[in-house]
């Protein structure tokens, strides 16, 4: 039986579905992507508002084993606005009936048309095609309701609804950012445990897709760097954060993350340089000053660490983190603990002093 075609449609031979789906053509409903999908005894079709969504469905069909080769064309993409099909084939017949585009298998004698209940012969189909120029000149964006974008036709005042089967780049970014923050790892902390890494790996894939499309999106590079860091891929994390810093050289948030990765890699010299740059951009930021004091301390520059953390504490005396850093610096200078060489050493409790060290400190105080 002939099928009504709307928008951009994927039309599939049922004998191909019989070959590739476990339940044959009757299983089409299990992979049908939307409510605008239906079949007859020879063909199955799915109609889309967006050619991009149609293309992605075609890619899914290829994963099931359906093909488009010179010898075998199992499915085609049909554009209702110009009544064309691609690729060329010898089995699909398109014709117009009562304002609708109809597809059928060549040789079929059926005259009963399968269409959505909402279609009335002689009226415009539910799915309409607008050229890129028409979209730009006629439509204005009104709102987004979930996966439905609502536009207003400026000529008629009619509201048009565009159903998206796939997330926008903004939605993908928001999902990835949420996953990264949910499993956030701070410098000095251990990597995220294996049971939680899959969510981060998924976010990494999403962010890699975004930066490939938008290589100057510095925020995506930052989040990608944080995700790589959380799964303990330090060099990949640093590369991403360095790219973000190249794009936003005076962004103190980017510089803070980059300096933290440098410390994790025990590249203390570079951590100091990045931290100094951040403080030069924002000289009275107590958090940046505290971070720089930590970099100085681990790099062995205790005098600079003492001076820097003292300045940070003058700016914000009640900052508990900087008070703790100040105590660490003081302990190192007074010999109460060894000078740390890594973040992990700095964050670990000091080892109990030996009797010899305690005796030396006591003799020093008694003089």
Q: Rg (Cα) of the chain, in Å, rounded?
A: 32
Across 87-107, average pLDDT: 88
Higher-confidence residue: 169 or 124? 169
Query: What integer pLDDT is reported at residue 160 of this predicted model?
Result: 62
Of residues 251 and 212, more confidently modeled: 251
Least confident of 144-148, 185-189, 304-308: 144-148
Residues 183 and 149 in one domain: no
Considering the domain architecture, whether residues 173 and 158 belong to the same structural domain is answered as: no
Q: Annotate the chain with three-state secondary structure.
A: CCEEECEEEEEEEHHHHHHHCCCHHHHHHHHCCCCCEEECCCEEEEEECCHHHHHHHHHHHHHCCCCECCCCECEEEEECCCCEEECCCCCEEEEEECCEEEEEECCCCCCCCECCCCCCCCCCCCCCCCCHHHHHHHEEEEEEECCEEEEEECCCCCEEEEECCCCCHHHHHHHHHHHHHHCCCCCCCCCCCHHHHHHHHHHHHHHHHHHHHCCCCHHHHHHHHHHHHHCCCHHHHHHHHHHHHHHCCCCHHHHHHHHHHHHHCCCHHHHHHHHHHHHHHCCCCHHHHHHHHHHHHHCCCHHHHHHHHHHHHHHCCCCHHHHHHHHHHHHHHCCCCCCCCCHHHHHCCCCCCCHHHHHHHHHHHHC
Distances (CA, A) of 26 to 31, 38, 42, 343: 10, 11, 11, 61
Residue 48 has pLDDT above 90, yes or no: no
**Spatial strand order in the sheet of 84-86:** 37-39, 43-48, 8-13, 75-79, 84-86
Q: Are residues 283 and 346 in the same domain?
A: yes
Q: What is the pLDDT of residue 366?
A: 42
CB 248 within 8 A of CB 218: yes
Domain end call among 105, 122, 141: 105
Res 147: pLDDT: 60
Say if residue 289 is in the same domain as residue 341. yes
User: Could you tell me which of 121, 127, 15 has the C-alpha nearest to residue 79?
Assistant: 127
Please check whether residue 116 lies inside any domain of the structure.
no
Question: Comparing 133 with 154, which gets the higher pLDDT?
Answer: 154
CATH number at residue 235: 1.25.40.10
What's the pLDDT at 359? 47
- Pairing of the two strands 139-145 and 100-105: unpaired
Q: Residue 327 — pLDDT band, cuts 50, 70, 90?
A: very high
On whether residue 189 sits in a domain, the answer given is yes
**Which of 248, 274, 295 is where one domain is finished?**
248
Domain assignment present for 111: no
Give a yes or no: residue 256 inside a domain. no
362 pLDDT tier (thresholds 50, 70, 90)? very low
């Amino acid at each position: 039986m002939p099928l009504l075609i709307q928008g951009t449609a994927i039309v599939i031979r049922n004998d191909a579905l019989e070959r590739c789906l476990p339940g044959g053509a009757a299983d089409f409903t299990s992979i049908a992507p939307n409510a605008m999908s239906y079949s007859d005894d020879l063909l199955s079709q799915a109609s889309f508002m967006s050619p991009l969504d149609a293309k992605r469905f075609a890619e899914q069909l290829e994963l099931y084993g359906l093909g488009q080769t010179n010898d075998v064309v199992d499915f085609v993409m049909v554009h209702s606005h110009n009544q064309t099909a691609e690729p060329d084939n010898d089995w699909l017949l398109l014709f117009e009936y009562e304002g609708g585009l109809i597809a059928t298998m060549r040789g079929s004698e059926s005259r009963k048309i399968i269409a959505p209940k909402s279609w009335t012969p002689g009226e415009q189909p539910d799915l309409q095609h607008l050229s890129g120029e028409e979209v730009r000149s006629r439509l204005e964006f009104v709102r987004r309701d979930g996966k439905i974008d609502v536009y207003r036709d400026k000529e008629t005042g009619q509201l048009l609804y565009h159903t998206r089967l796939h997330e926008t780049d903004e939605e993908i970014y928001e999902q990835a950012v949420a996953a990264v923050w949910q499993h956030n790892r701070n410098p000095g902390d251990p990597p995220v445990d294996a049971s939680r890494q899959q969510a981060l790996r998924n976010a990494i894939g999403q962010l890699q897709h975004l930066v490939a499309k938008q290589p100057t999106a510095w925020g995506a590079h930052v989040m990608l760097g944080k995700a790589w860091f959380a799964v303990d891929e330090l060099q990949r994390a640093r590369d991403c954060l360095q790219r973000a810093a190249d794009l936003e050289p005076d962004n103190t948030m980017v510089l803070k993350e980059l300096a933290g990765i440098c410390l994790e890699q025990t590249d203390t010299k570079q951590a100091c340089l990045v931290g100094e740059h951040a403080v030069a951009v924002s000289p009275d930021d107590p958090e940046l000053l505290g971070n720089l004091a930590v970099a100085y301390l681990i790099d062995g520059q205790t005098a600079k660490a003492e001076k820097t953390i003292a300045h940070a504490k003058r700016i914000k005396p009640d900052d508990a983190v900087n008070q703790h850093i100040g105590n660490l610096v003081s302990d190192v200078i007074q010999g109460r603990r060894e000078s740390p060489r890594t973040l992990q050493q700095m964050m670990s409790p000091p080892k109990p002093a030996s009797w010899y060290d305690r005796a030396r400190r006591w003799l020093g105080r008694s003089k």
